[in-house]
Structure 1
Amino acid sequence: MQDADTIRDIGARENPGAKAEHTGVGQRLGAFALAVGRYRWTICFILFLAATINYVDRQVIGVLKPDLTKLYGWSEKDYGNIVFWFQVAYAMGMLSMGAFMDKVGTKIGFAVAATIWGLAATGHVFATTVLGFKLARFGLGIGEAGMFPAAVKVIAHWFPKRERAFAMGLFNSGTNVGAIVTPLMLPMIVPAFGLGASFVVTGCLALLWVALWLAKYHPPEEHPKITEREKEWIKSDPAPNYPKIPWVRLLPWRQTWAFAIGKFLIDPIWWLYLFWVPSLLNQKYGLTLNKIGLPLVTIYLISDFGSIFGGWLSSSFIRRGWTINRSRKVAMIICACLVPPIVLAANAGSTWTAVLLIGLATAGHQGFSANLFTLTSDLFPTKAVGSVVGFGGMGGAIGGIFIAQLAGSVLQAMGPSGYYVLLLLPPAAYSLAIILIHLLSPRLEPISSEAFSSGS
């Protein structure tokens, strides 16, 4: 087939370590990618919708925290404990959902996960006590844990390596859109229908997405809408046909721990942004539900740009002839450099200065995260990606367990002044993450087929 020959010819001449003589390869690859078809980007858009809904359901409680605290008399420790049980379930779900996706496939697996989180999100309407909210958040954590293992696995199936970081950035930007939509929706829902209706409306969005997913998704080799040319493009990166790999067999590999430790360090910072930034803006700058929408929208619009920029940046470096190792790590370092100014946000002098400082840090996180997730498909075979992402996600959720308890305890003891302490954590987390990732995987070398076959 001529198209396949063209792909192989371009790929054979592409040398990631080359310099000026190969600077045109990336442009030719990009032009060819446009010509072969674009249905893979439709799949990416459906994943983007899932990420948006996932974060709408996740963030409702953070935006409503001041109102729920008044209604139910929560202390800072109560709220920290409610978030804690979400993180416990998320850790458990990340481990089990990753293996589940590898076992049953992403079509069924993702639908099951989204159904669980949709029903759990809706179930918050029945909670009236701290225990009730803990149970609802536990169910939400189990279901929502399935999103990233499923989505990263889908992207590994549908995109060649040179496009994966950008596709990951586009999908991951849905988390920011969800965080944008939530504070815009809730001021319309709550005054008209009450706090409980917020959980019902947002939970039902997940169930509607399940119907869309089941109707539209098939693997690329079976999809009726994909052209043969696009199929050849997707398969242009040759990969060994490994057997399915239980996650326990991934534990000896340094590459597994590079990803997992990175998640352990940076994920708690995102939870801190998601669950405590609304209360920071309320307590330090006096923003209530009817005023908090625009500041939160601004923060997550900035972070949305960071997600797409981070994915584009490393992909751009690869097109210029950089190695994957250099491209991913330099992109992560650049993103990490956006974080340190957040230490000034708790006493910024004005609301909008604080908003811009927080937005810059969330943009850095999302760009860093897009590249960190892409490492899994750089280092592991497709059939193991779900398990690796699940294991790493469990590490991130365990970090989230610590941050939930720490934030609740610090704010309970220090009041609003505790935010000064909490905002010292993000700069340290990203710096340490990139150092440990580099020490564990200095060259980001994929695990060889011989090593996997022997299990050594």
Structure 2
Amino acid sequence: MNSTTIGKYRWRIVALLFFATTINYIDRQVLSFTVINEDFQREILGLAKNHVITAADDAQLKVLLGYVDAAFKIAYALGFLLVGWFIDRVGTRKGFSVSMIVWSVAGMVHGLVSRAAGLVGARFMLGLGEAGNFPAAVKTIAEWFPRKERSFATGIMNAGANVGVIATALAVPFIIAHLGWRASFVITGALGLVLLVCWRLWYNRPRLVKNLSAEELAYIESDPDGKEDDKPARVSWLKLFRYPQTWAFALPKFLTDCVWYFFLTWLPLFFAKNNTLDEKLDLKSVGIPFLVIYIISDLGSIFFGWLTSTFMKKGWSANKARKTTLFICGLCALPIFFAAQTNSLYVAIALIALGTAAHQGFSSNILAMVSDIFPKKATGSVTGIGGMMGGVSGALVSVYVGHIDGYMPIFIYASTAYLLALLVIHLCVPKMQQAAL
């Protein structure tokens, strides 16, 4: 069946997932930019309003940010495991709705805190809620797309992460300048509640959507395992740990997610405080570099998703197509380490942009890989397990970066993580066969 001759309703679902991912990332990224604001720094460190920030204060803030971010990542890890399991049982529509409510309320609570302890609590709650996005999105794409289109659809959905970072970098400095740092959390947190209304109005499983044509439904269900079950499936996630396919996804998430989380959390401080660079950025000037970095990341997410789908449409096996694309992503990540050595701000921006594009391409493909190696009934749970592993590694790296002088070790690791992760995938699933649950 030719995809160009049928309906396009499934792409509306991808657009909804794209905006969900965008808002998810806006809410988590507000802190990374707000932390540059000196009024916020004084408030969280318990300093007087007229106190001049010193190098010792910067060091204390860096350690504190490491622990605060670790609280988010630990909750994110736990949330991934629990929410993936929850979504597979109650269904995507209800499970994702609960997640949106929790992360939106948590985002707004950030604007009420006045000390580090309150920030840790709000961050933990945000992590629990935000963990639902990717298990729900991956499961939705598995429900709405045949296998040959899932990489491209996942790439589009995953591109919302970069748009979220860009929107935050441009909007948060403006909000802080006019309304103060507390308003930045309240306004952005409320976006999730708008998203909730749209999700409840527009999303359902394909067979329950009246406006979906019979031709498009047949195309969606054209894979051998394409027809959806009438009831949400019940798969024990504990049993999933027995399968090498689970580790083919979970271990690469552990190896690579921490790199992405490092960029999301620490890049504003890297550009503002790193003594290696010949030019430093502040809250007013940081927006344009982030615009460049995450537009290129977006292109990487979509391009590498499209590349795998193109290979598969040419007749390549999922194994060959996906691993070839992952290898290209790994090669693109190799030069990242030089960003911590160069004196040129522009060279650092270019290298980090290439690295984040490689990560997003890699991430899109291993997310789509879940539906290659598992039936639909387990995709939420498996994605949750992988997200948990990524959250754990992200928490460890945040604490580590908070205590080290400089950033070189983590940049060196980022250069090699993706090729190492590809090796793990190949060892676990040499032929990328589907698990027989």
Match of 2:256 in 1: 266
Deviation of residue 71 (structure 1)? 4.1
Match of 2:85 in 1: 99
Deviation of residue 436 (structure 1)? 0.8
- 1:259–1:392 contact (8 Å) kept in structure 2: yes
Amino acid at match of 2:435: I
SS in 2 for 1:423: helix
SS in 2 for 1:288: coil
- TM-score normalised to the size of structure 1? 0.89
- What do you get for the CA RMSD once the two structures are aligned? 1.2
User: Which aligned pairs between 1:52-451 and structure 2 lie closer than 5 A?
Assistant: 52-67=22-37, 68-73=40-45, 74-239=60-225, 244-284=234-274, 285-410=279-404, 414=405, 418-448=406-436
SS in 1 for 2:125: helix
Amino acid at match of 2:101: T
User: Which aligned pairs between 1:25-36 and structure 2 lie closer than 5 A?
Assistant: 32-36=2-6
SS in 1 for 2:305: helix
User: Which aligned pairs between 1:1-16 and structure 2 lie closer than 5 A?
Assistant: 7=1
Instruction: Find the aligned partners of 2:345 and 2:313 in 1 and give their Cα distance.
Output: 40
Q: Note the alpha carbon deviations across 1:187-209, whole angstroms, 9 max, x for none.
A: 21111100000000110001110
Instruction: Find the aligned partners of 1:211 and 1:438 in 2 and give their Cα distance.
Output: 42
Amino acid at match of 1:428: T
Amino acid at match of 1:41: W
SS in 1 for 2:204: coil
Instruction: Find the aligned partners of 2:222 and 2:66 in 1 and give their Cα distance.
Output: 47
Amino acid at match of 2:336: I
Question: Which moved further from structure 2: 58-67 or 266-275?
Answer: 58-67
Q: How many residues align?
A: 413
Instruction: Find the aligned partners of 1:75 and 1:115 in 2 and give their Cα distance.
Output: 30
- 1:55–1:179 contact (8 Å) kept in structure 2: yes
- Give identity over the alignment, percent: 42
Instruction: Find the aligned partners of 2:416 and 2:114 in 1 and give their Cα distance.
Output: 38
Instruction: Find the aligned partners of 2:344 and 2:390 in 1 and give their Cα distance.
Output: 32
Instruction: Find the aligned partners of 1:336 and 1:131 in 2 and give their Cα distance.
Output: 39
Deviation of residue 100 (structure 1)? 0.6
Amino acid at match of 1:440: C
User: Is 2:19 the partner of 1:49?
Assistant: yes
Amino acid at match of 2:291: V
Match of 2:56 in 1: none
- 2:43–2:114 contact (8 Å) kept in structure 1: no
Residue ranges of structure 1 left out of the alignment (5+ in a row): 1-6, 8-31
- 2:300–2:357 contact (8 Å) kept in structure 1: yes
Q: Note the alpha carbon deviations across 1:3-23, whole angstroms, 9 max, x for none.
A: xxxx3xxxxxxxxxxxxxxxx
